[in-house]
Structure 1
Amino acid sequence: MIAKFFPWYSEITRPQKNALFSAWLGYVFDGFDFMLIFYIMYLIKADLGLTDMEGAFLATAAFIGRPFGGALFGLLADKFGRKPLMMWSIVAYSVGTGLSGLASGVIMLTLSRFIVGMGMAGEYACASTYAVESWPKHLKSKASAFLVSGFGIGNIIAAYFMPSFAEAYGWRAAFFVGLLPVLLVIYIRARAPESKEWEEAKLSGLGKHSQSAWSVFSLSMKGLFNRAQFPLTLCVFIVLFSIFGANWPIFGLLPTYLAGEGFDTGVVSNLMTAAAFGTVLGLAL
């Protein structure tokens, strides 16, 4: 049925479909766990007696963990494989979300969110590479486009369902729901193959630099900041900085602000769901 509308779909083997679907589900749960706290922050602040400054800092904790997680999991994935590190990154952000539900104060909650950020960035790095490497060269762009929609889907689920769930069962219970992605690891281990490109590079000796994390880091930095590449690197940095600077304060702080202004939970949920849906639509276009 799908191949009728997308002829290229018939070229994809079952292992390749499993690889992309596994990575996509990782993105979905990634988006859910990462965005969850923003939609229930008003309940956390009220329960723990947090100030606005503490709430804002708590919202940034996962962002602080992201560069560390992306670098760590990315380097390890070059050495040990895409699939196992994708699995461990999913475990990391799931456990971090579960620990958030056990937090007794702002310090433990901040540390838990830092772990979520590390796992989230690690999953981004490993899953994107894993999925793209698993697909045929002429279809890699399609795999990449579909993959990134997963984060938006997870965001939609969190925005639409979790505020009312947290009000009914408590914000801690909402975080415990974030442990569910651990089950995805079982599926990935059983059904998803390792990246063939990574396996071929390892067998041919092309991945010898992966034996040294510092070698990988050095090669990456030289590639990004050499004289020919630096203008493009700078432009990409400016664009991403602008996108994150304009987008994330809205997603991160607007739900709490609206709740503080007396907006009904359903209204806030619908507004943020619409914004999340717009993100998915933009990625699709």
Structure 2
Amino acid sequence: MPPWWAQSGTATRLSAAAAVALVAPAAVAGESAVARLLEAVEAHGPATEGMTAEALGRACGTDLLCAARLIVAGGDGRTRLERRAHPDTDTIRWVTTRASLGSHAQAEDGQKLVVLERFGRKVEWELRAALTGQEGGKGLVLDLRTNHGGDFGRMLRVAGLFTGTVPDALYLIDGSGRRPVAIPNTGAPLAAGALTVLVGSETASSGEILAALLRRYAGAELAGQRTLGKDYLLRIVAIDQDWRLLLPAERVEVPGETLAGGLLPDRPLPAGGSTP
């Protein structure tokens, strides 16, 4: 049985024109935020299957946050509301300067171990600095087991540090078709020797896409456990000053790799070992 807000006599989906008439003027959000929300709802229909303008209007009137909550409730579990943080200046300074690398060290066998926790603003510089002098070394172990994803563009630039420019490296797929995306030119690729990438159940989103790209185009070996399996991007839509709606957007496809259900490594880690 469809959810209660979808049990209506009309089968009309929430069109842009009807929705603007429904929620404007919004009590909390500005007109531009309302338009962004409604465009996103219409663009990502599967997230709100069965919801109608009439039912949503009866339930929420002009309350945009209420409408967003119903969109989440009627979704497939991927759509979510997120409270927006209002950090002080100290927090802003910490976020903008926070390191992307958790640690990096030289192992006894000559391999370099680098823990890449996030895709921060200076991630390219940090990786180049960490691997200076590694040319001709015995290889690099890139640990992505605590990488939960992040900025898609920065992730592509990190991939480019190891692969160089790769046209049509991956594809973004939505209702309008299949769009190729290149790994960009980030300067001379790093020559760090054999590349091993550690992955696990917490490796997610951009983190697991990076692992797939490095295996496909840099010859990396993946070691560890199956990744989370988040093979899509999120569209962020502002609701008001305190809330934003995260909608599933394009699905990501890396040729020769399977992200849905989790990326499978080439081998597990040794029993009781945290590194190869």
Could you tell me the TM-score, scaled by structure 2's length? 0.23
Q: Which has the higher contact order (CA 8 A, sep 6+)?
A: 1
Could you tell me the TM-score, scaled by structure 1's length? 0.22
* Higher fraction of strand: 2
